[in-house]
């Protein structure tokens, strides 16, 4: 069995600071108030759902082991919600509670959405994953001529990750167009010959977004909204823009030493198709279920997404199309996670057992992988 995924999805975006410890060090307890209200007032908020002894055990695991966890969690098994609950605050300054409907930046958990959009376009006959990407780009350097869509999906193109280039974080505070993002890395030498190795590259998913726009003749956000979200009633998921007044949006935080601080600003146009979406635990669960139940893709396309195409040595697991694939304690799992300043996300699905675990946190230093591992152990022990 290959090494567990629980330590793999730690740096899924180049902007994320090194993960420290499970969230909670040095943060004072506060008396919560209800979402959208001032201290001392009450209002109706989406209620938590804790189902039966197993749901209670999951809730107790979080409150006991992560007493200052700030975020939302959903756990489901065979279509039954065991736990859907928010913990601590979406806004720590105003003491606005997290709920199952709180909207978080999901960072690289955007990648499964981007990969699904590519598979939809292939099913419509508008592209093929074996096509060379330069066929769909207006400007393409000589070093990219052999690179295929398949290699972008699997992080085997050799294109360096633009978020790791010098000055990338400083540049990311200003908005950038898709063409400007591509220009930031198109002259960089390849890390290896296309197809020769694995290198997690946000650059590849930026290019996939550009391909989606070229083929669909619509913006990436527009295509995702109209084809992956609205048909399934996912009204709490979308492309994150700082200028939009978004009801239920969580603010992002870091813990530095014993200090609780606001996360540095990042304009989400810089994350684009590699990490630009926001969502809720409830919407992510609905979307995951639509995907695995065949409402988005044919069985053949879904199988291609969940097929291990390359061993990702850096993560100690396999990679499909926008999904990490692993065996965890004897259970087959597909999942992905992500991190951006102030946020950390993780989703995993166990197909045979039909178990879903989704963790969204608005404290960047929260080890959501470890939290999810504890939840999955609780679920499987409770069977």
pLDDT in tens, 302-318: 999 999 999 999 889 99
- Closest CA relative to residue 292, chosen from 337, 250, 349: 349
Half-sphere exposure of 148 (CA within 13 A, CB side): 12
The pLDDT of residue 21 is 32
- Closest CA relative to residue 278, chosen from 350, 325, 224: 224
The pLDDT of residue 36 is 33
Residue with token string 């997290």: 98
Mean pLDDT of 32-49: 45
C-alpha dist (Å) from residue 296 to 131, 157, 300, 351:
22, 26, 12, 16
Report the CATH number of the 5-107+237-381 domain. 3.40.710.10
Number of H helices, E strands in the chain: 11, 16
Bridge partner residues of 358 (DSSP): 74, 347
Question: What is the model's pTM?
Answer: 0.89
Domain ranges of the chain: 5-107+237-381, 112-216
The pLDDT of residue 46 is 63
Helix (H) or strand (E) holding 348: strand 343-350
Is the pLDDT score of 13 beyond 50?
A: no
At 51-91, the pLDDT tens digits run: 999 999 999 999 999 998 999 999 999 999 999 999 999 99
At 213-244, the pLDDT tens digits run: 999 999 999 999 999 999 999 999 999 998 89
């Amino acid at each position: 069995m290959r090494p567990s995924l629980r330590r793999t999805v730690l740096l899924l975006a180049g902007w994320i600071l090194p993960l420290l410890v499970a969230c909670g060090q040095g943060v004072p307890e506060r008396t919560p108030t209800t979402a959208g209200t001032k201290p001392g007032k009450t209002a109706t908020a989406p209620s938590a759902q804790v189902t039966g002894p197993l749901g209670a055990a999951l809730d107790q695991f979080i409150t006991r082991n992560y007493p200052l966890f700030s975020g939302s969690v959903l756990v489901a098994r065979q279509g039954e919600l065991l736990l859907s609950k928010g913990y601590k605050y979406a806004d720590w300054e105003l003491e606005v509670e997290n709920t199952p409907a709180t909207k978080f930046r999901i960072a690289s958990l955007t990648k499964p959405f981007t990969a699904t959009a590519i598979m939809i376009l292939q099913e419509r006959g508008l592209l093929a994953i074996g096509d060379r990407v330069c066929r769909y780009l207006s400007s393409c350097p000589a070093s990219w001529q052999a690179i295929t869509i398949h290699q972008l999906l699997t992080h085997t193109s050799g294109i360096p990750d633009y978020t790791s280039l010098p000055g990338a974080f400083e540049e990311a505070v200003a908005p950038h167009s898709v063409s400007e993002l591509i220009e930031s890395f198109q002259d960089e030498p390849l890390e290896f010959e296309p197809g020769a190795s694995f290198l997690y590259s946000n650059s590849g998913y930026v290019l996939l977004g550009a391909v989606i726009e070229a083929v669909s003749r619509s913006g990436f956000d527009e295509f995702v909204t109209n084809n992956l979200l609205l048909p399934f009633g996912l009204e709490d998921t979308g492309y994150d823009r700082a200028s939009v007044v978004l009801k239920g949006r969580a603010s992002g935080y870091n813990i530095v030493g014993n200090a609780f601080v606001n996360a540095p600003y990042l304009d989400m146009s810089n994350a684009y198709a590699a990490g630009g979406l926001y969502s809720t635990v409830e919407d992510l669960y609905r979307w995951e279920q639509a995907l695995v139940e065949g409402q988005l893709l044919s069985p053949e396309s879904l199988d291609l997404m969940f097929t291990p195409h390359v061993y990702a040595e850096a993560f100690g697991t396999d990679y499909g199309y926008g999904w990490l694939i692993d065996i965890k304690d004897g259970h087959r799992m597909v999942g992905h996670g992500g991190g951006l300043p102030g946020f950390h996300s993780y989703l995993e699905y166990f197909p045979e057992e039909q178990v879903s675990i989704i963790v969204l946190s608005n404290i960047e230093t929260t080890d959501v992988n470890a939290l999810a591992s504890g939840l999955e152990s609780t679920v499987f022990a409770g069977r």
